[in-house]
Structure formats: structure tokens, C-alpha cells
Amino acid sequence: MMTNIELPMTELKVLHESTVQPEEIDALGHMNVRYYMTRVAQANRAMLAELGIQDGSGKAIRRLDTYTRFHREQFAGATLLTLGGLIADAGSDESQAINGYFEIRNPDNNQVAASFILRSCLIDVSNQQVLDINATSAKTDLTREYSVRVPEYGMPRSLSLNDPARISLEELEAVVGDDPTPGMMSGRRKNVVYADDCDSDGRLREEVDLMFVLHRPTTGEENEPGGPPVMRDSEGRRYSWAMIETRNVVWHRPMAGEIVLSIGADIANGEKWRQSRRWMFAEETGLLLGISDSVGLCIDLDARRSIPMPFDVIEAIERSSLPQFA
């Protein structure tokens, strides 16, 4: 688990500036989760480059662990600043990974849109081994200048930052049902890794998210806006799930032509929220590539407020939930 030691709090540095584009808006009417990830990934790479840690010469930056807490939804035309710094992590080998804290802020109202805790490492592309970051950094003297502490509002609310348990494809298929619960992350999905998504060695590029591969339209599917599906309850209200927390852990990257299989299920829920987990495998070998967690809040899309989940959804969640794999 990531923990902090006492260091002077320095100002988060502005690392990226952008404007929310119309095509970044999903079916719920706000900027999709994917585009938050795009911005923070660019900010992380900019910070690491400033520290002398860069891609190239057979090395690649990999985000091993990405935790996100969403605070306020953002809409087309909004200006967004992505700021960040380094977390002093007493619980990890600092030669193997760098932990960063980031925020996306809307400067027009000075509000935090989302906050992030990232763990990154440097990979030897040829053998996929983790490299000693200190040995490759030319500007380690900047580390203290970037050091920050994670504010309380940036810490996890529902999700844990402990190492998630790894299970096999066989274990999961033995207990998971065939019928997905409505919306969110449950059910099965698979897609192929395109050669265009891969590096010169034929491996999925580090900046291409596994979830993007899975949710890219397959042959015959329409290229619709992303995000959870919009549904209607018994009262006719349009509802869906707004992400309030996500966490993505990556252990391996698939190769061109491989089929990525994901199996998802709810692992916890309350009256208005549900926690889902998606396990991602290389279908042919059964290799566990990563895990994606999300906590979604049921919202009335027209009133823009949280509401209790419909009874049939809660019933379906509780019937097929897998709390033993939380």
C-alpha cells in the first residue's frame, strides 16, 4: 500500500493545459473517463522527462497502477489544467517505481475535477524487466523540488490501494455467470490487439490502454459515445452510473494479434452505488494482464443527482456478485 512520509508540501506544478473537446463528451453528457486518463498520462510523462526519465533506447515508461477519484464533471469548452508532483513512498523500492500525485483542475472556478495516484516504472522493452530508475535519471536533484503529500481529498474513499489478488481464468470461469447485470462493468467482452496499436517489437504500446482495446467497436458495432449505457427505471427516469473512483493495475502487455478477454462482475454494492471489477486476460494463454476496478454512483441524468438503484438492478447484482474476489 502507498504511504506518505512527512515532507514539506510544495506547490503542484502545471504540466499540461487543454480544452474539453465536443468529441470527448460521452453518452452521459460529460467528459469521458478515457480523456481524463489521456491528460494525466501526458502530465506524468512530462514530469518524468523533467526528471530525466524518458522512453527510447530500448526503454519504455509503464503505468503499473492508476487510481482516480472523480470530484466534479466537466463539459465541452472547459479549460483544464493538469498539475502534479512526486509522492515520497516509504513502502516501496524507490529504485523500481515512482509514485506521482496529480490533479485536473478547472481554473475558471478553481475546482478540482479529478485527482490521481500513479505508480510508474521503466521497462526494458526487449525482456520486459523493470529497470533501476535511479540509474537512468540524470536529474535526481529535482526530486525534492517535486515532492508533495497527497491531500485528504485525493486519498481513496472506497477502493483500496493494496495489491489486488490474482486469480486464474479457470478459477473465474468456474464461478462467473453468463448473464451480465445491467450496465457498468459486468459480463464478458473481447477484442483483438491491432498491429497499429503496437510498438516495433509487436507489443501493445504503453500509452494504449487495455480498456480502449476492449471497448473499441468490433466489426458490425456502431462507434457510439463511450461511457455506461443510459437506461430508464420504472418511473421513466433516465439513469446511469457516474464513475466516482477507478483503479487500473497492469502486469503485462499483450502482443499484436492476441485476443484480450475481459470478465467483469460486481464485488460490492450499496443502495446507490456499485463496485465492479474487470479481469483482463490473454485469451489463448490465460495470462492475467491486469485488473480494472470502478465505483459507480447511480444518477438521474436529467436531475443530475444520485438516486437509489432500481430494485431489479440491485437484485441482479446481489444474485451474481463475487465478493470473495474483492
The pLDDT of 301-309, averaged and rounded, is: 94
The domains spanning 1-155 and 159-326 adopt the same CATH topology: yes
> Average per-residue pLDDT in the chain?
87
Q: Worst-scoring range by mean pLDDT, 48-57, 59-68, 82-91, 223-232?
A: 223-232
Residue 92 banded pLDDT, cuts 50, 70, 90: low
DSSP state at residue 198: B
pLDDT score of 229: 84
Residue 122: which of 211, 62, 200, 182 has the closest Cα?
62
Residues near 116 by beta carbon (within 8 Å), at least 6 away in sequence: 40, 66, 67, 68, 69, 100, 101, 102, 103, 104, 154
Q: Which cell is 246 given?
A: 477507478
pLDDT score of 11: 84
The pLDDT of 89-101, averaged and rounded, is: 71
304 phi/psi in degrees, rounded to 5: 55, 50
In this predicted model, what pLDDT tens digit does every residue of 1-23 receive, in sequence order? 333 333 344 689 999 999 999 99
Question: What is the total residue count of the chain?
Answer: 326
- Residue 198 pLDDT exceeds 80: yes
Instruction: Please say whether the beta carbons of 14 and 153 come within 8 A.
Output: no
Q: Which cell is 174 given?
A: 468456474
pTM: 0.89
Instruction: Please say whether the beta carbons of 240 and 227 come within 8 A.
Output: yes
Structural domain spans, the chain: 1-155, 159-326
Residue scoring higher pLDDT (233 or 136): 233
In this predicted model, what pLDDT tens digit does every residue of 213-230 receive, in sequence order? 988 876 555 545 566 788
The pLDDT of 76-100, averaged and rounded, is: 82
Instruction: Please say whether the beta carbons of 3 and 91 come within 8 A.
Output: yes
- CATH code for 159-326? 3.10.129.10
Residues near 209 by beta carbon (within 8 Å), at least 6 away in sequence: 34, 37, 248
Residue 289: which of 262, 265, 267 has the closest Cα?
262
Q: For domain 1-155, give its CATH number from 3.10.129.10, 3.40.50.300, 3.90.190.20, 3.40.50.920.
A: 3.10.129.10
